[in-house]
């Protein structure tokens, strides 16, 4: 199973601050995703990224969110001005193609206070 | 209309029994179906995927897909206490580029 490493494992931030969540896939998978899971709720899709551009995004992924893969390895999710409701587990996932199985990283728990 | 629906449970079975988990989906054009296991506070772990109608077996796990009924299930044979977790059904539509739609999950408890 492909390995996906996420950092940090837990981040606490004040409301209004910017956070950057990082994902490092240890493989040559081509598709990257961010999902989030609010405590007690289902896993929700945020965005997919392929060939250095966003291929799809959900209604959750508004202007306060952005993604990039600046150096060809790290894949980052930036939340510009965090809100209390952004508190959740954020998961990075990878897949070889758009049609194959996706593997998840261990997640980053974001707590906005 | 919810995209993917699962019985939330909890489902409780004795050790050694068969656990049956069910999932229905709304988009008839869905093409790929996945079962993930999620322990409390952890990330989803892929355990099975199925693309074609019928059964697919992998060890103690069997995934079953019926596209006409828009139904996918997971059977766990010889259930073990270590199987106790939340099982997430995820569906990929034909029209989306890799996006997964998740159900809320079914909590399974296997008691010794």
Alpha carbon distance B55, B57 (integer Å): 7
Q: Tell me: pLDDT of B34 over 90.
A: yes
Provide the edge-to-edge strand list for the sheet that holds A65-68: A3-7, A19-26, A75-79, A65-68
> Does A43 contact B49 at a Cβ distance shorter than 8 Å?
no
Residues 6+ apart with CB under 8 A from A28: none
Q: Residue A72 in 3-state DSSP?
A: coil
Sort out which chain B residues have CB atoms less than 8 A from A33's CB and list them: 98-100
pLDDT for B96 beyond 70: no
Contact A106 B42 (CB under 8 A): yes
CB atoms within 10 A of CB B3: 16
Q: What is the mean pLDDT of residues B12-30?
A: 95
Q: What pLDDT does A97 receive? A: 81
**CB contact at 8 A, B106 and B87:** yes
Nearest residue in A to B87, CA atom: A42
Residue range B78-85: mean pLDDT, rounded: 97
For B24-29, what is the mean pLDDT? 93
The structure tokens listed for A20 are 């950057």
- Integer Cα distance of B55 and B35 in angstroms: 14
B44 touches chain A (CB under 8 A): yes
Q: What is the rounded average pLDDT of the residues A36-44?
A: 96
SS3 assignment, position A77: strand
Which pLDDT does position B64 carry in this prediction? 98
CA A15 to chain B, closest CA, distance in angstroms equals 23
pLDDT at A28: 73
| Cβ of residue A104 closer than 8 Å to a chain B Cβ | yes
Sign of CA dihedral B18, A106, A36, B52: negative
Give the model's pLDDT for residue A2.
66
């Amino acid at each position: 199973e492909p390995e996906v490493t996420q950092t940090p494992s837990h981040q606490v931030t004040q409301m209004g601050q910017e956070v950057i969540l990082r994902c490092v896939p240890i493989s040559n998978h081509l598709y990257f995703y961010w999902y989030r899971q609010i405590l007690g709720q289902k896993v929700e899709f945020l965005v997919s990224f392929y060939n250095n551009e966003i291929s799809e995004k959900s209604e959750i992924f508004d202007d306060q969110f952005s993604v990039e893969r600046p150096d060809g390895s790290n894949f980052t999710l930036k939340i510009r001005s965090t809100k209390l409701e952004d508190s959740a587990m954020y998961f990075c996932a990878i897949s070889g193609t758009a049609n194959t199985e996706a593997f998840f990283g261990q997640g980053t728990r974001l707590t906005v206070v | 209309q919810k995209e993917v629906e699962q019985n939330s449970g909890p489902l409780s079975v004795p050790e050694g029994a068969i656990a049956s988990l069910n999932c229905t989906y709304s988009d008839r054009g869905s093409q790929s179906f996945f079962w993930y296991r999620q322990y409390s506070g952890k990330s989803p772990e892929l355990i099975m995927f199925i693309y074609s109608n019928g059964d697919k077996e992998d060890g103690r796990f069997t995934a079953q897909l019926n596209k006409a009924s828009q139904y996918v299930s997971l059977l766990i044979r010889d259930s073990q206490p270590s199987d106790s977790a939340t099982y997430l059904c995820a569906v990929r539509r034909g029209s989306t580029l890799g996006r997964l739609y998740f159900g809320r999950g079914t909590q399974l408890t296997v008691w010794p």
